[in-house]
Structure formats: structure tokens, C-alpha cells
Amino acid sequence: MKRLTFVLFMIFLILCTTQLLNGQTIQSDSEIQTNSQGKDISLSQQGFSSAAEFVEITSNTVIGLPGNTYIMTATIHNHCPLALDSLFCRIVSPSPYLTIYPSIKYIGNLDQNESTTVSFTVEISVWLVEYDIIKNEILVFSDSGIHGSGENHLLIPENYSNCASTQTEDEYIARVEFGSIDNPSGWQGGVADYTHLYTVLNPDTAQSILVTNGNPWANDQVRAWVDWNRMDCFCDETPYILENINGTGEYFSGEIFVPEGQGLGPYRMRIRMTYGSSPPLPGGTSTYGEIEDYTVIVGEFPSMPPPDSLIYLVSGNNVYLSWTTPKALNVRGYLLYRDNGIIAEWQTSTTYSDPDLQPGSHWYAVSVLYPEGESEKSDPILVEIDHENATPLRLNNIAHNGSTRAVSIFPNPALQNVTIEAPYLKVVKIYNLSGDLILSKQAGNSNLTIDLENLQSGVYLVHSFFGEEKTITRLIVNH
């Protein structure tokens, strides 16, 4: 009788797990196998964790601006009937201008109805000039498959594209000549986004600009703005007045001045033409005219630089790669190399997953795709796949600064202490992002553990010295 009761209970339990979970009804065990990316997993394995959405994910929406760093959080709730073991959480962004670190975190085990919150640091590149809402995908998974997915929204203020418009087509910006920019165009009712076109200026200098009107009227006016403080919509910027040459409204000329001491990098420039006695404003709706946006780069423009700081994490026979967005305009994507062969083309995210590798050694590198072509490859990293000794908590890095030393920093993010491992390690110095030296330690061997109790939560740069050589590695402290 007891045996019959147990069998009936197990049948009931299996039937319950096929009901509606997280908005989906699982029809059969074969469907669960399909949802687990082809892995041969049954309901009874890994506490039913091969099924579709047993994990519910909620995340905060981040409002950010280029050149700044923010914290993303994700709350993960296990509503599976059983515990889930050895979980990871990973964020994948579609933008090549977001650096997320660490891009993957080891969660561990979650009991039934248990929740946990993980945080990630996202750095918005100062070279991001095309503003939009960026939807980052959040995945929770283990070796059994994906257990849940969600989204994190990074809201880059849309005022640039949405705060201005024109109602009626009449006069319009037919051509802009400004340094290396020479752009003929037609009328658009919204903001014409030509931010992929740029000219390079030096600090405390000026560059002449000429705007041609495609349907001139004597009462037309033209103004230009540059978002020097990178806030939004140019509303607090002083306009550059373009003079109406000969008073006919056909040509407008002026100069764009770079303020003294202006920081290096890209800045968005807006040109607006309107009709009437009132001068143009950078935002709002006008009856006639047009708006066009371009990019001004202050300082020397880098020529197709490769990405920096290629790092990896190993879990079993899976490799997870991430790298830093290069300081460059017009990044279109990335090429991933393993053992000198291309494994991913036109990768937009700065993270990549390479699963189911055979045990052994593998070399990885990444390059950047620009409109002009492909950059050089990053410094390669060597990844060792060892099923028995692989650890999911170790993040490894070779800095892109000419050093050939392999540096391991773990855990990263760190809570109470961090361990730095490297052959012939001599000195370790930790700096904050302002360049201030926070602490310096003599290593004397290949292993050094540092107490982080006196460091505030945040992002730091770890300089590891080997005589004349050094590497620079990013460290996240998260108390």
C-alpha cells in the first residue's frame, strides 16, 4: 500500500510540473528538452531545472548618460517545485558601447521559493552618440540549460531625437560643410541623425561652418549647438549664431568654438533652421525648417583601436568571454577568434559564450569591425579546459598593454578580500578611477591576498608588477 501511494504521489508531482509555470504550459518532456537547447534532460533531473521558465527575473531600469558607470540589479526567484543547483546569471547587451562587468555571475543554489539579488556594473562608453533605449537580456542557467530570462532596460535620454520636430516641408538644410563633414541631404520632419559623420577639432580652437538652404527665404534663421556637458537636448548650451549671407537665406556661415579645457572625445552637435523673427531653439516643434545632428570629436581621433581587457570565465567545459568597448566612433561589431579561426561574425555585444569545448588549451582573441575595416586583434588569452579542476568563480585577465603575463583575480567582484595570482608577481597597487593610489602591497611570490575591508564599494584598477612589466586589471568591490 505504501508503495502504491508513493507511485501515485510521483505521478501527481510530474503532472503538476507540466502545468502553467511563468505564463507557459509545458506539454511534454520532449518540449522541455527542446527548450533546453537540445540537451537530453528530463523533468526529474536537476530538480526539474531543464524546463522552460522556472526562474522569475525582475530588474531595475537604469537611466544613464555616456561616460558614466551605473549598477544594474536583478532579483532572481525560484518558483520551481524543487531546489535549483549551481546557477549562473548572465547579462547580454545588444550595444557595442556597453561594458558590463562581470558579465556573468555564479549564484550557487536556490531552494524552492528562495530569491536572491545580484548586481552588475555597466559602463556606458563616452563614444556612444546614438541615443536610444537599450534592452539587455538577463539569463539564469546551469549545465542543465536555461531556467529563466528577463530584460534590463538602460534608458539613454531620448531628448536628442524626440525633443525637436518640424511640421511642414519648405526651407530645409540642403548641405552642411564643416571640417571633414560635407553632407548634402533632403528634408526630414524629425531630427536627421547624421552622428556617424564627424569632424575633429583641438581644444580652444574654432572651425568654420557653412549651411546651404534648399528653399531659401529671407527670414530664415540658423543656429547650432554642441552638447559640451553631455547632459541632454542642448537646452543649457549657448547657441552658435550662423549669419544669413547677403540676407537671402540661401547660405549661413559661422564658427564652432571648442571651449578651453574641454575634455577629449565625441560631442553631439545640432543644427536647426527655422522661419520667422524668433531665433531657433534646440528643442520643440516649429512650423518650418529642419534639424540635423552631427558629431564633433575633440582631440586626436584613434584609428580603429582593438578592444581592451579581454577576460574569461570557465565553468565546466563552457567559456564565457567579455571585453571592454574601445574608445572609438562607429563601432559596428566584433569578430571572435578561437585558435586562429573565426567563431563569431558581427557580434554586437561585448560578451560571448563558447559552450561544450573539449578538454585542452584554446587561444582567444577579438577584433573590432569599423566602416573602414577590421582592427588588429586584441592580445590573445589562453584558456585551459579541465573538467575535473575547473572553477566557476575565477575570472582571468591579460591586460592589453603589451605584457605577456597572465593575471588571475578572484573572486571578482570581491566582498571581503581578493587574491591575485601571477608568475613572478612582485608588487600590487590598487587605484580608484580618479587615479588615486588606494593601497600598495609587496607580493614576493606568485600569490597575494588583500583585505578589502577599508575599500568602499566601487570599481578599481589593479596594477600588477613583474619587474619592468605590469598589467592593469579591473576589480569590482561589492560589500
DSSP lists the bridge partners of residue 451 as 417
pLDDT tens for 270-314 read 999 999 999 999 988 999 999 999 999 998 777 889 987 788 888
Task: Show contacts of 6-15: CB within 8 Å, 24+ apart.
Answer: 13/81, 14/43, 14/44
Taking domain 10-155, whether its CATH number is 2.60.40.10 is answered by yes
Cell matching residue 26: 509545458
191-201 and 290-298: which strand pairing? parallel
Residue with cell 547587451: 93
Q: Out of 81-85, 184-188, 278-282, which region has the weakest mean confidence (pLDDT)? A: 81-85
> Among residues of the chain, what percentage have pLDDT more than 70?
81
Return phi, psi of residue 380, to 5°. Answer: -70, 155
CA distances to 48, 326, 409 from 156, in Å: 39, 19, 32
Q: Which pLDDT score, from 0 to 100, does residue 103 have?
A: 83
Q: Which pLDDT score, from 0 to 100, does residue 401 have?
A: 38
Q: Is pLDDT at 36 greater than 80 in this prediction?
A: no
Cα(136)–Cα(134) distance, integer angstroms: 6
Nearest in space to 394 (alpha carbons), one of 380, 384, 403: 384
Among 123-132, 248-257, 343-352, the range of highest mean pLDDT = 248-257
CA distances to 11, 160, 178, 430, 459 from 441, in Å: 61, 47, 52, 9, 18
Cα(231)–Cα(163) distance, integer angstroms: 13
Length of the chain: 479
**Higher-confidence residue: 179 or 412?**
179
Q: Is pLDDT at 226 greater than 60 in this prediction?
A: yes
Which sign, positive or negative, has the C-alpha torsion 155, 157, 161, 162? positive
Say if residues 132 and 103 touch (Cβ distance below 8 Å).
Answer: no
Query: If residue 428 lies in a helix (H) or strand (E), which one and from where to where?
Result: strand 427-432
Q: Which pLDDT score, from 0 to 100, does residue 173 have?
A: 98
Buried b (16+ CB within 10 A) or exposed e, 51-72: bbbbbbbebeebebbbeeeeeb
Say if residues 32 and 46 touch (Cβ distance below 8 Å).
Answer: no
First to last CA, the chain: 54
pLDDT band at 434 (very low <50, low <70, confident <90, very high): low
Which sign, positive or negative, has the C-alpha torsion 146, 150, 156, 158? positive
Q: Out of 25-34, 186-195, 207-216, 308-317, which region has the weakest mean confidence (pLDDT)? A: 25-34
Domain ranges of the chain: 10-155, 159-298, 308-477
Q: What is the mean pLDDT of residues 203-213?
A: 94
Domain range 159-298, its CATH number among 2.60.40.10, 3.40.50.300, 1.20.210.10, 1.10.287.1080 = 2.60.40.10
164-168 and 284-288: which strand pairing? parallel
Q: Is pLDDT at 351 greater than 80 in this prediction?
A: yes
pLDDT tens for 150-165 read 888 877 665 555 678 8
- Chain centroid to CA 125: how far? 8
CA distances to 38, 69, 318, 329, 431 from 126, in Å: 40, 10, 32, 10, 21
Among 233-237, 297-301, 374-378, the range of highest mean pLDDT = 374-378
Q: Which pLDDT score, from 0 to 100, does residue 308 have?
A: 77
Query: If residue 183 lies in a helix (H) or strand (E), which one and from where to where?
Result: strand 181-184
Summary mean pLDDT of the chain: 79
Burial class from Cβ neighbours inside 10 Å (0-12, 13-18, 19+) for residue 225 reads: buried
Instruction: Supply the pTM of this predicted model.
Output: 0.64
Domain range 308-477, its CATH number among 3.40.50.880, 1.10.150.120, 1.10.3720.10, 2.60.40.10 = 2.60.40.10
308-315 and 341-347: which strand pairing? unpaired
Q: Do the domains 10-155 and 308-477 sit in the same CATH topology, yes or no?
A: yes
DSSP-based three-state secondary structure for 14: helix
**Higher-confidence residue: 339 or 38?**
339
Q: According to the 3-state scheme, what is the secondary structure of 301-367?
A: CCCCCCCEEEEEEEECCEEEEEEECCCCCCCCEEEEEECCEEEEEEECCCEEEECCCCCEEEEEEEE
Q: Which pLDDT score, from 0 to 100, does residue 298 have?
A: 93
